[in-house]
Amino acid sequence: MTERIGPATGYRRIATEEAFIPPELHRMYRDLIASGGIDDPGFVSLMGYYLGSTSERARNVSERLQDLGARRLADMDAAGIDMQILSLTSPGVQVFKTDVAVAMARLANDQLAEAVRRRPDKFAGLIAVAPQDPTEAAKEIARGVTLGLKGVIINSHTQGEYLDDRKFWPIFEAAEASGLPVYLHPNTPPPKMIAPFLESGLDGAIYGFAVETGLHALRLVTQGVFDQFPKLTLILGHLGEALPFWLSRLDYMHRGTVNSKRYDFMKPLKKKVSDYLRENVYYTTSGMAWEPAISFTQSVIGMDRVMYAMDYPYQYVPEEVSAQDALPISDADKKNFFQTTAEKVFRL
C-alpha cells in the first residue's frame, strides 16, 4: 500500500464517478454469463473477467464494488477522499429484459439511498434507471428524487440502442424537470461495433469505452437533444472521452455535412457542436489523472466545468490524488475542481 494521503488544505475532495453494485445484481451477472443466455460479447468479456478471473485485480475490484461500508470508507480515508458520488457500475440493469431491469433499478436505488442515509457525510448517489422502459425510467427518476439521490446514471447504450432515439426522451424530460444531471458512463461497444475491439483486446477501458461513449454523446448533440432540452446537464467522465480534443474539427465537419445535405436526418442545430459541449456538459477526470490532459480540457472547456473523479474501484490509485492536488492552477480553481463545482452540479 502506498503512503496515506492526508486531508487537503482549503477544500474537500469529492470524487464524482465511483462505482458500486448490489450483491444481488452481482450474482445475476454471474448467473447470466453461466447460462449462456446473453448475446452481448462485450458484457461477457468485461464481466466475465471481473467475475471469473482469479487475478488479484479482478478479485479486488469485484469485492470493492459490493462494499458500501467499512472497506470502502477505509479506502477513501487512505486516499484522502472526503466524499464519493456513487453510481451503479456498467452496464447496470441495461443488459436485462425490461421487467427484470425495472425491478433491479429500484433495488439498486433503495440500497444506495440507505447507504447515503447511513453516511451522508461520505456518500451521495445517482439514480439507476432501466431505459428499456422510458416511462418507468422517468417515474424512477421522480422516485429517486424523493430518496435524496442527486443525478441519473446511464451506462451508455442499452442493448445496442442509443438515447438520441426519441422514444428515450422521457428520460431527459424527467431529468431536466427535476434539475438532475445525467451521467453518461461508458459501456463496452455493442455487438454491431465490438468485433475489431475484441480481436485486439481493446474493448474495455483501455479504448473501447471512450470510442463508444464519445459516439453516444455526439449522437445526442447532433440529433438535437439539447435543442429540445436546453437546460439538460450531461456529465462525461474520462475528460469527455477525448471530445474536447476534437472541438474545432467537430464544428467544421458538422457544418459542412449539414450544408451539403449529405444525410437527410442531420438537421441544422441552434448552436455549434462545441457550444453544447461547453454549455451543457460537465467533465470529470475519472481514470485520467494526467496533468497535460486535465489542463488542456480546462483550457478549452472552462475551468468551472471540470471536476475531480477517481473511478473507484476500477482505478484505485491514491497517489493520483496527490498528483491532482499539484495541478498548476490557483487555490480558488483547485477548490472548484475538487469541491464546489460538484456541489453545484449535484446540489450537495
Residue type, 194: I
Buried-state track 280-302, b at ≥16 Cβ within 10 A, e below 16: bbbbbbbbbbeeebbeebbebbe
Given a contact cutoff of 8 angstroms between Cβ atoms, the answer to whether 301 and 280 are in contact is: no
Beta bridge partners of 284: 307
Cα 205 to Cα 153: distance, rounded to the nearest angstrom: 18
Given a contact cutoff of 8 angstroms between Cβ atoms, the answer to whether 215 and 160 are in contact is: no
Cα angle 84, 246, 232 (rounded to 5 degrees) comes to 50
Given 39, 311, 325, 331, which residue is catalytic?
A: 311
Is 311 annotated as catalytic?
yes
Beta bridge partners of 154: 184
Residue 20: which of 289, 308, 311, 285 has the closest Cα?
311
Residue type, 34: A
Please state the length of the chain.
348
* Strands of 14-20's sheet in order across: 14-20, 83-88, 123-125
Q: Cell triple for residue 255?
A: 457544418
Catalytic residues: 311
